[in-house]
A and B are shown apart, each in its own frame.
Chain A
Amino acid sequence: MSSSPRSSDAPLSAAELEERFEELIGAVLSSRRTAAGIAHELAARGRALQDFVLQWAAVTAKSSPELAYQFAALAARAVAELGFAGAERWLLAAMEVHDREGLYRASAELKDLDAFVERSRERGRGIAFDEVAPVLELFVAGLAGRRLRLEAAESAWTDTATLYLPARIALLPSHADNFRLYKLSAALLWAQTRHGTFNLPEAAYPREERALALFNVLEALRLAARLERGLPGLHRDLQALARPALGPEWAQAAGQLRRPGASAADSAALVATLPRSAQPPAWPFLGMLDPACAAAVRDERLAREKRLLRAALARFEEELRGARDEGASPAAGETPRLRLESAEGGEEIAVTLGGQPVAPPQELKRLAESVLQDLGRLPEDLLQPAGEGPCGAAAQAQPASEERPAEEEAGALLYDEWDHRRKQYRKGWCVLRERDVHPGDPAFVPAARARYRPQVRQLRRSFEALRGEDKRLRGEPFGDDVDLDALVRALAALRAGAELDERVFARRARHERDMAVLFMVDMSGSTKGWINDCEREALVLLTEVLEVLGDRYAIYGFSGVTRKRCEVYRVKRFDEPCDALVERRIAGIQPLDYTRMGAAIRHLSAILAAQQARTRLLVTLSDGKPDDFSDGYRGEYGIEDTRQALVEAKRAGIHPFCITIDREARGYLPRMYGAVNYTVVADVARLPLKVAEVYRRLTA
């Protein structure tokens, strides 16, 4: 602190300033390069600016007097453009460059004040993907159609499963406008997936770059017209941002695409009719098209969903038939068939049975609508159930590694296994060990939390409602207050000649949730990729809500190869708090080998049974069939053993609940889970929320 005799806010004179600069950066000054000019300029300014420049020149001079000199020379202008805080950022950015890359680059950075000013203005009005993603994801989910993921990318495009949006938009003058631009980009991509931009055969798409760009514009015109009918608000916004306006050479094509029946095929045909002079306009919301990539994603999905849809229809028909047979009188002879119908060009499906509309299960409806969305119509072969489809036809992958040498069986636990052919247990058949999960990426859990922020908040709230608050119990035989209603009732009964009811008290009691829950997570190789990600995200959401509830819980993973190497992986034991280590273990859950479910269920039931709790819940999370590549576990044996293990758990006073991620809708599930409750999640993306939802339902 300088103890200047002058009052501290009076400006310094040029001479005083020059003297101070001499002290600070004298090393880079000479007779030809003095601080006089800078001092002179600053002398005319207020003390605040002078102090700012002197203070930061002093800081900078410690690393580089040269940089400090350059800073002092530009500081006044920088403050005028950016304000004190902005100028500070400008200097600090340059100092960072200095630390990293040296003086030469740093001074270039510092001198390019204009670029910095431009960048920081853009930051002010621009908007980042992360900021808008939670709202836009909900927005797109609301619009209709199948679930779409949102991800940041170089430019806006879609593969029909994910909408890619720029990481940042700062094109327009205000924050609100840029948000609108994000929303319109997302909406247009959504419209492409919803209204058939990618439903043409691959050969129909223009190959040449310019032609594809023209097709993109024509599609935007067609989709905008389509939006005008259903979403006039969006259409208005699109119109407002479609600048520059199109020239007259587009008029004819635009008119054709405005017709209600216009399709992507019309857009493709119109490309050739545009004159050479037609140039694709640089509309800000216009993204890119990648028909090949979209086709690959779409074909894969179609194949899967068609198979599922056939199976779902068959199941539904069987259900209806069962219901009819139970009914009073089966109608004359023939059984009516189910039939899917969709109006011409419509987006809704109807299901009829013998001409009468029936309400299809949600899942069937969703599948049919998704197929309809991809094809624009329902193919003839899908309109009626065709018996059991070819289920799980994909060839089973061969085991990656041969049977590893059996380790010593000492220190491991032995479990019986049910052999359905012999109708008895194989004693001590499975060798099971507990292992620790290797901690994974510490960033995973916070990222997952951020991703599901709005949903987590809703979940937390709905779980808080479960937490059980103080409740006033009425009509109790003892208590700290008189239940007047009950007393009046009792007295009235007494007068009427009945016995005096003793339950006339009220008391407050805390509704205790006495619950222990163990989550058992599939770590078999088949969960690789998305399923594994979603399993881990599901656990993140679960830990959130379980912490709210205060329920005791444990998380274990399971996998293994052969009966000699069944493994159970500790993620969180009952007695462990949910700390950073547990979070990292959740992140570290990875796909390993096979799914010998029976032994894992038996081991974990034993752990759970040892917990003192009124309700014990075992929730399994797996991706379908129990499977092991040796000694015939695959197939019926595994299903029967799993079933048996679940029955044993139930007998031990545990409530098992199985959540299966199954895109094949295989027929064995009712048998395997016959004894216990289960749910099938077909859409992996929904798993994380579904698991929390299931838990809430189970324990509410």
Chain B
Amino acid sequence: MNAPRAAEATALMVSEEPYYRAVRGEAELFEAAHRNRVPVLLKGPTGCGKTRFMEYMAWRLGRPLVTVACHDDLTAADLVGRYLVTADETVWLDGPMTHAVRIGALLYLDEIVEARKDTTVVIHPLADDRRTLFIEKRGEVLHAPPEFMLAISYNPGYQSVLKELKQSTRQRFVALDFDYPAAELEAAIVARESGIDAAAAERLVRLAHMTRNLKGNGLNEGASTRLLVHAGKLIAQGVAPRAACEGAISQALTDEREMLAALNELVTSVF
């Protein structure tokens, strides 16, 4: 590994332990997968801690972390890299995937189903026992070092059949199912992340459970742990709890008049 690359790898290291509470031995499972060079698929609703888990695992394994948020214009070239034209010459620039393979990082492709279909071309050989990345434009084949690991995430909540993760893709991965943490744990997380007291955190979690009950009844998703942390931060700043919840939770979840009214009634019931 040359010097600048080592420096970049250091920049991608997670230096401080991220706050993460393992629920069902997912950290051990992830470690086992890493040891055995098996890629992982993280399933779960938005804001339940998938990204935080990746940061935590990167810290725990002492590997740099490369995160790519996938979108519907993300092509294989965006992942692998491209030539750039500078003053009278062309320079090759590694994409995040190539970079991650080179430095033996954890590569995390968030919301993989959003990416263009042609990305499977580069994901598949990297995700099975070949563990290779073929850089077509340079005619180069990279073999992933043992420390490299691929992780992808997707939210089964709003999958569409046409945008579903293909069997040929998902069957290359060990799946970890994520959900919102159990009530007490979630309260502890909210309290710690936002700095509010335990009682207020518990109320926020109760409110979140109520909104999650409404999923599919006019709400696409219930309030995520992340939203609770936002509301908690507002409360910790001295914003009145009702106003904080209306702003950070009700209004964040919906624009529908009736749904807003119902959510605000739930807020006033809890606070």
Contacts and interface: CB of A to CB of B under 8 A. Distances in A.
A92 interface: no
Contacts of B92: 496
A301 interface: no
Interface centre among B160, B162, B269 (most CB of A within 10 A): B269
B266 A139 contact: yes
B220 interface: yes
A474 B73 contact: yes
Nearest to B179: A359
Interface centre among A234, A474, A677 (most CB of B within 10 A): A234
Interface in B55-74: 73
A5 interface: no
Contacts of A8: none
Interface stretch (A163-171, A452-460, A541-549): A452-460
A187 interface: yes
B85 interface: yes
Contact of B269 (A231, A475, A492): A231
A488 B25 CA distance: 48
A333 interface: no
Interface in A342-365: 348, 356-359
B177 A233 contact: no
A498 B73 CA distance: 24
A143 B137 contact: no
A623 to B, nearest CB: 21
Interface stretch (A49-57, A68-76, A692-700): A692-700
A454 B267 CA distance: 19
Interface in B212-234: 213-214, 216-220
B227 to A, nearest CB: 15
Given A143-B210, A232-B271, A453 B262 contact: no
Contacts of A230: 206, 270
A144 interface: yes
A492 B82 contact: yes
B265 A139 contact: yes
Contact of B261 (A135, A231, A357, A453): A135
A693 B218 CA distance: 11
Interface in A122-159: 134-139, 141-144
Interface string B100-112: 0000000000000
B162 A700 contact: yes
A492 B138 CA distance: 12
Given A462-B220, A693-B216, A700-B162, A359 B210 contact: no
A495 B265 contact: no
B98 interface: no
A698 B82 contact: no
B84 A233 contact: no
A689 B216 CA distance: 8
Nearest to A494: B90
Assign chain B's interface to a size class: 35 or more
B32 to A, nearest CB: 10
Given A231-B269, A689-B217, A698 B161 contact: yes
Interface in A451-475: 453-455, 457-458, 462, 474-475
A195 interface: no
Contacts of B52: none
B254 to A, nearest CB: 8
Interface in B161-218: 161-163, 177, 179, 182-183, 206, 209-211, 213-214, 216-218
B270 A231 contact: yes
A493 interface: yes
B24 interface: yes
A492 B137 CA distance: 10
B83 A141 contact: no
A528 B271 CA distance: 44
Nearest to B88: A495
A36 interface: no
A259 interface: no
Interface in B126-145: 137
Contacts of A455: 217-218
Interface string B71-93: 00101010000111100011010
A141 B160 contact: no
A700 B220 CA distance: 15
Given A142-B266, A144-B209, A496 B271 contact: no
Contacts of A458: 218-220, 254, 256, 259
B85 A495 contact: yes
B214 A141 contact: yes
A243 interface: no
A145 to B, nearest CB: 8
A381 to B, nearest CB: 26
A491 interface: yes
A455 B265 CA distance: 18
A489 interface: yes
Contacts of A699: 160-162
Given A142-B263, A498-B137, A700-B162, A489 B83 contact: yes
A73 to B, nearest CB: 46
A233 B269 contact: yes
A143 B266 contact: yes
Contacts of A233: 267-271
A493 B259 contact: no
Nearest to A138: B262
B159 interface: yes
Contact of B83 (A453, A492, A689): A492
A457 B255 CA distance: 10
B83 A493 contact: yes
B16 interface: no
Nearest to B214: A142
Contact of A359 (B75, B177, B266): B177
B265 A454 contact: no
B68 to A, nearest CB: 17
Interface in A491-515: 491-493, 495-496, 498
A698 B160 contact: yes
Contacts of B266: 139, 142-143
Interface in A158-194: 183, 187
A435 interface: no
Nearest to A186: B265
B265 A135 contact: yes
Nearest to A657: B161
A686 interface: yes
A139 B257 CA distance: 13
A674 to B, nearest CB: 16
Contact of B90 (A357, A359, A495, A686): A495
Contacts of A136: 262
B150 to A, nearest CB: 20
Contacts of B270: 230-233
A141 B217 contact: yes
B83 A357 contact: no
A357 B26 CA distance: 12
A144 B261 CA distance: 17
Contacts of B262: 135-139, 142
A488 B89 CA distance: 12
A468 to B, nearest CB: 12
Contacts of A493: 83, 90, 137
Contacts of B217: 138, 141, 455, 689
B220 to A, nearest CB: 7
Interface of B: 24-25, 73, 75, 77, 82-85, 89-90, 92, 137, 159-163, 177, 179, 182-183, 206, 209-211, 213-214, 216-220, 254, 256-259, 261-263, 265-271
Given A138-B263, A700-B162, 9 more contacts: A138-B258, A143-B269, A230-B270, A359-B24, A458-B254, A458-B259, A686-B216, A697-B159, A699-B161
18 contacts: A139-B262, A142-B211, A142-B213, A143-B213, A144-B210, A230-B206, A231-B269, A233-B269, A233-B271, A455-B218, A489-B77, A492-B90, A495-B89, A689-B216, A690-B216, A699-B162, A700-B160, A700-B161
5 pairs of A and B residues whose beta carbons are closest in the complex: A700-B160, A492-B83, A138-B262, A142-B210, A454-B258
